[in-house]
Amino acid sequence: MTTERYVRAIAGIMILASLALGRWHSPYWLLFTAFVGLNLLQSAFTRWCLMEDILRWLGVARKDGG
């Protein structure tokens, strides 16, 4: 998998987890959902994502080898 696919998977997991926590634990977890969404939105415009930097530091391939 590439960094782009990992970012999408991680964002999806974080959103679903925070929605579940917001439902069963505290509604303040929904702020985390908003945080993830805002980061996805800003990365669409700035082309910079902290999670991509972290994944590259961990050695995940940037693009498919094609």
Both tokens assigned to 41: 């939105």
Q: 62, 3 in Cβ contact below 8 A?
A: yes
Share of the chain above pLDDT 70, in %: 95
Measure the CA–CA gap between 31 and 26, rounded to whole angstroms. 10
Measure the CA–CA gap between 29 and 55, rounded to whole angstroms. 25
Domain boundaries, the chain: 3-57
Measure the CA–CA gap between 22 and 14, rounded to whole angstroms. 12
Measure the CA–CA gap between 51 and 46, rounded to whole angstroms. 14
Q: How confident is the model at residue 66 (pLDDT cuts 50, 70, 90)?
A: very low
pTM of the prediction? 0.81
